[in-house]
A and B are shown apart, each in its own frame.
Chain A
Amino acid sequence: MPGAVFLRGDRVTLRTLEREDVDFVHEHKNPPGVRRSFIWPYPENRDDVEEFLFEEDDGTSLLACVEGEDDDPEPVGQVGFSVEDRTRAAEIGVWIARPYWGEGYGTEACERFVDYAFDERNVHRMSARVMDGNAGSRRIWEKLGFEHEGVLRDAEFMGGEYRDMHVYGVLEDEWRERDDR
């Protein structure tokens, strides 16, 4: 049973990550589709996952859940960010388990999370990076009104070739204007 609700969206709730979520994360982060989306080509066993989730404390990370059978929350992915104290610049990252792709859960989870970053954490700027070829992830930032700010050429390697990294960013005032629409 996933942890307490921390942020609530229409379909997606963002909950505290608990020890019992390790199995979900472990199972769904390792397969190629997902691990390619956040560019981590290394196997992660349960201990690695647990260490990553609970022993690195320089960011904030939440479990994204939807309503499952019997109204129980069903985990679908993870969203998190890290902030630089002085510049108030943050970077967001997200992944959604393969069976739940194409439902817009990633977009909803990120939208709610970016709200939180600007409204509660006093972030000035939110960045997101996407590897070339990851159309699903790019669409999230474009739908949310992030601006495409640059292309770091050949900065990644996947599928046997060097790939560009796209950098997206949204500023606090842009996000608020969008919210006012």
Chain B
Amino acid sequence: MPGAVFLPGDRVSLHTIEEADLEVLNRNVNDPRVRRPMTSASVTTMTETQEFYENVVCDDDGVNLLICVDGDDGEDDSDDDGDEDESDGDPEAVGDVALFDVDERTRSAEVAIALDPEHWGNGYATAASRLLVAYAFDERNLHRLQARVMATNEASRRIWEKLGFVHEGRIREDQFDDGEYRDTHYFGLLESEWRAGND
């Protein structure tokens, strides 16, 4: 059972990350489908995820939240017999979002997301990111958000474009994946643009 709801939404809600959720985080961060687009080539043990929990989740200026899908979102399962099955009702953890590198002076921060590949293609990443972006501007008084995407990662790029992020640059060959140097796209969103887009 995930922690308390922090940012409620229609299809996904963002909950506090609790120690009991670390397995989901650890599975994602080791899954090549998740870690490679996130430019991680490192092995992450449960011990390290535990340290991440203690040093970053619990003790950092950033914000890390668990993405949960309502048990009755309807995406899952099989049985259309109308019976309650055991997953019904309980929010299911599918990934995490982070607001990090928060610079209090320049009012800027970076956003990132990791989603279990079993749940890709349902718009959860965009929904979760939208909640986090609104929080960053509405509650944290940030001026600018940044997102970085490896040039090969079309799906992630679409998230930020849908949310109105502006493509600010293509940094050449600063990443390495699948045997090649890769470009990174930089996206940025200013508070004023976010407000204009939500009027």
Contacts and interface: CB of A to CB of B under 8 A. Distances in A.
B36 interface: no
B193 to A, nearest CB: 9
B105 A155 contact: no
Nearest to A126: B174
Q: Which residue of B41, B166, B169, B174 has the most chain A CB atoms within 10 A of its CB atom?
A: B174
Nearest to A148: B169
A152 interface: yes
A119 interface: no
B13 interface: no
Contacts of A86: 41, 176
B105 A150 contact: no
B95 to A, nearest CB: 24
B171 interface: yes
A48 interface: no
Given A89-B174, A124-B181, A125-B174, A157 B106 contact: yes
Contact of A152 (B39, B105, B146): B146
Interface string B32-68: 0000000101000000000000000000000000000
Interface in B123-157: 143-144, 146
A147 B143 CA distance: 28
B170 A149 contact: yes
Interface residues of B, number: 23
Contacts, number: 67
Given A152-B146, A153-B190, A154-B143, A147 B106 contact: no
A147 B176 CA distance: 20
Contacts of B107: 157
Contacts of B105: 41, 157
B87 interface: no
A155 B108 contact: yes
B168 A152 contact: yes
B100 interface: no
A23 interface: no
B149 to A, nearest CB: 13
B158 interface: no
B186 A167 contact: yes
Contacts of B106: 155-157, 162
7 contacts: A89-B175, A125-B174, A152-B146, A153-B168, A154-B108, A154-B188, A169-B172
Interface of B: 39, 41, 105-108, 143-144, 146, 166, 168-176, 181, 186, 188, 190
